[in-house]
Amino acid sequence: MPNNKKNRIVPLAILVVLVLLGLFYYNQASRVFRIGAEPRAVTARGDLAEDEKNSIEVFRTTEDSVVYITSIALQRNWFSLNAFEIPQGVGSGFVWDKYGRIVTNYHVISDANLIEVTMADHSKYKGVLVGAAPDKDLAVLQIDAPTSLIKPIPVGEAYNLMVGQKVYAIGNPFGLDHTMTSGIISALGREIQAVTGRTIKGMIQTDAAINPGNSGGPLLDSAGRLIGVNTAIQSPSGAYAGIGFAVPVDEVNKVIPQLIKNGRLIRAGIGAQLADERVARQLGLEGILILGVESGSPADQAGLKPTTQYRGDILLGDIIVGVDGKETKTYDDFRDVLDQHRPGNEVILNIIRNNDPVSIKLRLTAVN
């Protein structure tokens, strides 16, 4: 019996020791976890870097000029015949002048029955189309908002831009309002295709993040001035891939006043119907074939020959190969040269007639 009692005491003693050790280590562990549980003292931030200050200032001074645009299509319920509104797409824009005119991309509002413009304070207004230039992918809207909300964006210039200079893009990507991204000008003089198929030349290329919803928003320089209108991205997925494009502000400054005044872009022309590049390629021509001549137009008065049909045969008209000595192999080339002129200016057309070079002087007219 005494031996059995002794045998029971030994395990009990071991158990007591284990419990005491467990309590000791638990207390030590708890102490470790409790250390630093109190709030840390805040370290003074110090002054921001000059570059950060500039970025903050650019956003602060321009955010109220940027708007959110929703294009709305009307659809009809064929059972009830009631019409209802369907959001068609979203984009950005910015306040152009003190009269409440908004600049955006044409492709943002091209299919809309109704246009809704959301200001920086989230108030919404109906946008009325003032004018559009599809070939330039630009459009002007009018809103009736309080003057306190109308804050025109500062306008800069694009002729002296340099690759490498810092730029900012402000817009509403993916419906996230007033988002700012930064980058540099990656290249100048790029070309993209407008919704009309016409080539837009002289575009600014940037690596500032531009995503769906940024279209129509401003591209700014480090002084917070408008230098371009964000228009397109180049990406297989349709999302940011490091390459975005903007219409340069010098082009915007030429187009927008015309849209405000006339509702459309008034351009210089010759009053003739010209063949597109597909027809020229099929015929193996280098130049712009004249298909038809409008009666009384400068082309008619200058004696330009249209394409005609005689006894089943097609007789090719004059082929424009240059303007004022500048070669024009395509319609885009021809339009680019004429866009440098105004209606009423005189030019020399260099043409091929019956395989012979001819030069003809004419006065340009206004065309849509």
| Active-site residue, 215 included | yes
Question: What would the two tokens of residue 208 be?
Answer: 């500032």
Identify any residues that bridge with 190 across adjacent strands, giving them in sequence order. 203
Q: Which of 107, 135, 182, 221 is catalytic?
A: 107
Residues 6 or more apart from 3 whose CB is under 8 A from it?
none
Identify any residues that bridge with 358 across adjacent strands, giving them in sequence order. 351
| Active-site residue, 107 included | yes
Question: What would the two tokens of residue 13 be?
Answer: 């003693």
Query: SS3 letters for the chain?
Result: CHHHHHHHHHHHHHHHHHHHHHHHHHHHHHHHHHCCCCCCCCCCCCCCCHHHHHHHHHHHHHHHHEEEEEEEEEEECCCCCCEEEEEEEEEEEEECCCCCEEEECHHHHCCCCEEEEECCCCCEEECEEEEEEHHHCEEEEECCCCHHHCCCCCECCCCCCCCCCEEEEEECHHHCCCEEEEEEEEEEEEEEECCCCCEEEEEEEECCCCCCCCCCCEEEECCCCEEEEEEEECCCCCCCCCCEEEEEHHHHHHHHHHHHHHCCCCEEECCEEECCHHHHHHHCCCCEEEEEECCCCHHHHCCCCCCEEECCEEECCCEEEEECCEECCCHHHHHHHHCCCCCCCEEEEEEEECCEEEEEEEECEEEC
Q: Which of 65, 71, 182, 215 is catalytic?
A: 215
Q: Count the residues in the chain.
A: 368
Distance CA(164)–CA(167), nearest Å, equals 9
Q: Which of 137, 207, 221, 318 is catalytic?
A: 137
- Which of the residues are catalytic? 107, 137, 215
